[in-house]
Structure formats: C-alpha cells, structure tokens
Structure 1
C-alpha cells in the first residue's frame, strides 16, 4: 500500500473508531481500537483536530499518571444534508459530524409532478443551508421510495410517486449546483435500515418497512445485501395473490396492493388528506380496523415466509407504520409464517419492531451524506488547509 493510501486508510480508521465508540475516547483508547501505535494515532489525531474534524475536551484525571484528554467528532464544523421524498411530503434534515440536528424543514402535500417535487426538495435544501451558512457542505443524499438505476442517475420506478425514469440527481444539481456538494439518490429502505443496523451490530435479519409503499432490506452480519442491481429486499412487489388486486406498479397481486399506505387508506375508507405518520391513529378509529389488521397480517406473513425460505433467516424487524401495530399483527403474521416458512422447523421465528427513531429514512440519508468525510478524511484536511475551504 502506498504511503498516501496508508495515511488515508489510517485517518479513516481513527475517525470511524471515534464515531463507533459513541462516547469520548482518549488517544490510547483509539490506539487500542484501531490497533495502530500510540505515536501514529497521536499524529493522525493532531491532523484531524487541525482540520476541525475532532475536538478535544478538558483533561480528566484518572488517578496516577497523565490525565486523559477525551476526543470526540467535532460538532458544528460540517453540514451534511438528507432529503426524503415521500407520497405526501418532502423533508430535509441538516446534521453535523456528530449526527446532531442543525436544521429541519418539511412541506406536506402531494406534488403534482416530479419536477414540482424536485423544486420543493431544492428549496428545502436552500433553507437548511441558510440556517448554517458558514459551514462547508459535505453533500446531499435523497431518499426515494423506488428503484434507482445502478449508475445512480435515474429513479427508474417509484410507483407511489408516479415516477418513471426521473433524473432526480440531475434535477437537483440544476437547482442547487454548486453549493450543495455531491448529490446522491438512494432507495429509502436502504437508508432507513442504517439506524437498525446500529442497534444490532453484526446481526442478520429481514427488515420490512411501511411508508409510502412497502419495502425492505436484507441484512447479513451487519451489512446490507445489495444484489446485482441494488434492489435486494424489494418485498413490496412480492406476489401474495396471483391475479389479485392491481398494484400501482401495474402488476397484479403485489404485497403493496394490499398493505401500502394508499391501499390501507382505501380499505379503511379514509381520505387522501391522512398523512403517513397519522395512518396508525386513523386506522385505530376506523370501523374496519379488525378486517384491515387481518389483511395486513396474512399478506405480510406470506411475503415474509417466502423471503425467509429463500434467505434462511429467522429474525424479522418491522418498521415504519408497521412498527406501532406490530403487537396486533404479529399473531396473524406468525401463524402464516409458521405454516409456510421452512425456518420455523428450526425454531421460533422472531418478529420484532424497530426502534422508535422518527424519520429513519431522512436520518439515514443525512448519515449517508456524512460518509465521504469518514471514508476519505484526507480530502477534508486538505480543504481545511485553504482559506476558501474554511468558508465554503
């Protein structure tokens, strides 16, 4: 490994270790976590402090010997921006290197077109940027409820937004360049699962999320399975009733045709003004709640059973609007899964609800927007060394 690559690798290792530690850590602690020598860590830490990526706390006496100087990712020195484009709203979140929220904006209502949704998103980015005008922007990551092309240029299909082949990234760049930095579009479920991975390091599970549609992700030993095209875990378009109801994707019998936000609103006789985050509360007041819960449990159970048979997993995590009703739907889901999943022969299937983190896709998008700093701190050290870089 060349010396420049080795330096970048070690800088990244130190910054990642500090992020993963979750609490202030000393230089000696970082040396232990990274398995680098103490002199090497001390040199790297000084570089990261000089670039404003690490901050030092007041020394803490630990008895005999030198006091421990706590280190943590630096707050308020960079701005990373996450976007979430959903059926009934667009949200934007700005965070710093610690993941702390600096600014947030949301506009409710369904956009009349992709162009309108992109313009709304760009305006929210500008507003979040204006709340922290002196911080350099790492980039923008947009969470979208649909399939993204392998090259990241197009939203190939987002049925619940009525989008097909939408050049989202190009549209955002046209509105925002150059002040937004790098712009990336990713599937919303790929981003929302990141918070769950943090809670379950190294675990394997099937993640199922109800939001604009129904999506999922496959996590194997702490890493998201991408698949050939990056679409692994698209549970919403698993067929649960051949020749059944027409899905918004144009096919028949998809899981989404029965338990998506749009499908549940229609089944419960609710109006289009019901927001996704209010869906569970509205369902609780619906006279058809029991029937709807049964449909959700049976349809979801069949899709999960099929997925578990292919993936050989035994843990399912329910998120989005499925999490608050997990206790109600679990008996029906479990009965269906037990009847159809081979994994049930090896022992009980664990059906769990996700954590209560609000807006996981939005937060995951903001977290993903920070990753270039952790992946390549050297570029940010070089940028901080120039006068323009300090105020960009």
Structure 2
C-alpha cells in the first residue's frame, strides 16, 4: 500500500510537471529552449529535457532550428507549440455571418471558411446546417497527421457556465436552444465534442493572448474591460488574464446596460439598452445605410456628410455612459474596443474617453485608457479554438494517455 501511494504521487507529480512545461512553452512570448524552460520552472535540465521529449513524441511540441550561438557552448534547440500535430475547430455564429476555423497549437490557421448571412430571428436548425457545411470546408485542408481535439462554437447569447444550451440570444431570436446537440446531428461534426461559449468571452480570450505576444508581457498581467461591438454588444471583464462571468456565467452583458430607461425597446424586452444606441444596425440606420453596409462603407460616409459622423458620436456617448457605469463597479483601468468597434476606433475613442473622464469617480487619480483591440478580425472564432486547445495545455498527460 505505501508503495502504491508513492506511485500515485509520482505519477501525479509527473503529470503536473508535464503541464507546467507545456504551459511554459505555449505561453512563451519569444523563442525558448529546454534550458530556459528548466530555469523558468526551477527544475533540472535533465528533467526538462525528458518532459519536452515526451511532448515532442505526443506531437504537442515541435523542435525547431538551433539558436544562433552568441556565447561559447552548444546552441540550444528552440522548442515551440506544434504547428500541425493537434488542432481545434473554432465555430462562430454571428447575426450577419458564420465562420469556421481550424487552429493549430502554435496559432497557425490550418483551414478557414466564412459565409455572410442574415440570422436575425433565424431557425437554429438551418443555421447549424450551414455552420456544419462551413466546418466541412475548413476541415478539408487539415493535414492527415493532425489530431482534431474538438470544437467550440461562439454565439452572442446568454449561456449557463459549462452548458451547451443557448438560454437567450435576443438578436438571433433564440431561446433554450441546445446548440451542441443540434451540431452533433450534422456531418462532419457528429461524434466531435462541441463546447459552446459566449462571443465576448472568447474574443477576450484571444485578445489576452494577442496582447501578451504584442508587448511581451505575461498573460496574467492583462486586466481590462472588453467590448465586442457587432449588431449586438458583448462585454467581458478580464482580471489577471482570465475572464470573470460570475457564478452562473451571466455577467458581462454590457450591451443590455440601460443608458436611458425611456429609450427605445430592445430585442431583450427592456428599454433603453446600450445596443439601441451603439449596436451596428442602429449606427447603420442613423447613418442612412442599409443593414448590409460594412464598417468600411460607414467610414467612407464620414467625410462626405454629417449623418455618419453624428451616428458615431451618438454611439460613442452611449458607450461611454455604459462603460463608466461598469468601471464604477469593476476596478480596471483599461477599456479595449473589439469587433467592429476596433475598425471604428478613431471615431469612437475620444467620445468614450470624455464620458469616462467625467463619470468614473476614480478617473482623476487613475486615468482610464481606451485602446483598440489587437487580436484583429475573427477574434471570437480564434478564441473558440483556443478554448479547446488550452484544455490540452492544462492537462497534456490525459491527452497522451488517451492516444497511447
């Protein structure tokens, strides 16, 4: 019995160390080597080398070319997350488009397909059929050796933590839709584990990783309020690199913060929600454009007339009011504008900053920065794939045992 317990402890320690090593390689913001991994984790080089070798054999880590020698001695071989050993399928349902994207552990896009469409008050069965068709297209170019870990679908909806049921998606017109079950009925997704995530949360996940790589800082140092501007408006609070959703997973719905209780009725049933002042459809309408107009179309209108400029100014003021209300409760000093707001940033930022400076009580001592998202277009579908990939990073031992 004592020997058995010791074996369990040793196996547990090996599993933990394997996760630490893969996590160190995955989160590295510059090329790393076995020696640097050993130093960062305070383990011996022999231990680090053994663990890296296991990860290489499992196709989770690639060995790249040796570094250029800058000091006497043998140059270190660079190790990096695998570029094609494993991959995850990210799926996105948005009011005006669907996307499927296959992402490798190192961030390489191995396949992608997107289709525009109008999914307002849509039939979930029709939408999932189309999404599955796009998934099939994205998976066509997947290398034969690549192991697909699973899929995650991003949806602008209220979701219970850990669940697959869309409880409410006002702009899609969906209530109590088991999205994972619908997708499981569609080839080529049958038999693939499908998770479901809120679009703003997943965009914020992609944003934390992109920011870490952009400035070389650890992801754990990232804290900000994230706004995902689309037809609807999603929000996420990131503290220490992690999104916070509360006990049930329902916090962060900044699009339904009331900026004027006497305002127009929202699709959620309330009146005066932020979405009715700063959602993309509202901005389009106030600018005199149709629902199919892109943010680029909107920007071309700004120099040629006053309607587009006024629409963006009106939206910026409303966003600033909602953001200020949030920051008086949540103690972060950065606001990150993603989705279409990143494209419209130059016409929104000043108006938001003015409202925040006036309305956030602590702003005089701790000024709030309003910044453009750096993750780029498609952050929600990228975040969806990252969610699946990072489950393996957190527990590579289970992945290796399952494939043995």
Q: Give the structure-1-normalised TM-score.
A: 0.91
Secondary structure at the aligned position of 1:358 is classed as coil
- SS of aligned partner of 1:57: strand
Instruction: Say if 1:11 and 1:298 are closer, same or farther in 2 by CA, change over 3 A.
Output: same
Deviates more, 1:301-310 or 1:373-382: 373-382
| Matches of 2:223 and 2:62, distance apart in 1 | 34
**Which SS does the other structure have where 1:323 is aligned?**
helix
Q: Is the 8 A contact 2:278 2:316 kept in 1?
A: no
SS of 2:318 mapped into structure 1: helix
Query: 1:314–1:343: 8 Å Cα contact kept in structure 2?
Result: no
Give, in angstroms, the shift of residue 133 of structure 1.
5.7
User: Which residue of structure 1 lines up, in the alignment, with residue 299 of structure 2?
Assistant: 281
State how far apart, in whole Å, the 1-side matches of 2:301 and 2:252 are.
Answer: 27
Aligned residues: 384
Indicate if the aligned counterparts of 2:313 and 2:347 stay in contact, CA closer than 8 A.
Answer: no
- The structure-2 alpha-carbon separation of the partners of 1:379 and 1:283, relative to structure 1 and needing over 3 Å to count, comes to farther
CA 1:32–1:279: 2 relative to 1, 3 Å: farther
Deviations 1:10-46 (A, max 9, x none): 1111111111113432211111122222222121111
The answer to which of 129-138 and 79-88 deviates more is 129-138
| Counterpart Cα distance in 2 of 1:243 and 1:34 | 57
1:1-392 correspondence to structure 2 within 5 Å: 2-60=9-67, 61-111=69-119, 112-132=122-142, 134=144, 135-176=146-187, 181-198=192-209, 199=211, 201=219, 202-275=221-294, 278=296, 280-281=298-299, 284=302, 287-355=306-374, 357-385=376-404
State the alpha-carbon separation in 1 of the partners of residues 338 and 297 from structure 2.
14
Q: How far apart in 2 are the matches of 1:271 and 1:293? A: 15
> Equivalent residue of 2:319, what SS?
helix
Partner of 2:4: none
CA contact (8 A) 1:138 1:372 kept: no
String of CA shifts for 1:367-390, please: whole Å, max 9, x gaps.
Answer: 1121122122123323443xxxxx
Check 1:281–1:335 CA distance in 2 against 1; reply closer, same or farther (3 A cut). Answer: closer
Unpaired segments ≥5 residues, structure 1: 386-392
1:269 to partner: Cα distance: 2.4
Query: What are the Cα deviations for residues 278-329 of structure 1, in whole angstroms up to 9, with x where unaligned?
Result: 4643653665112212211221111011111111332211122222333333
Change (3 A) 1:72 1:263: same
> Structure 2 CA distance, aligned partners of 1:234 and 1:33?
38
SS class of match (1:227): coil
Does the aligned pair in 2 maintain the 1:216–1:233 contact within 8 Å? yes
User: Mind listing any 5+ residue stretches in structure 2 that lack a counterpart?
Assistant: 1-7, 213-218
Contact 1:268 1:286 in 2 (8 A): no
Q: Tell me, in whole angstroms, the C-alpha distance in 1 between the residues paired with 2:242 and 2:44.
A: 28
CA distance in 2, matches of 1:289, 1:195: 30
TM-score by length of 2: 0.89
Q: What do you get for the CA RMSD once the two structures are aligned?
A: 2.1
Q: Distance in 2 between matches of 1:347 and 1:149?
A: 34
Structure 1 residues 244 and 58: CA distance shift in structure 2, 3 A = closer
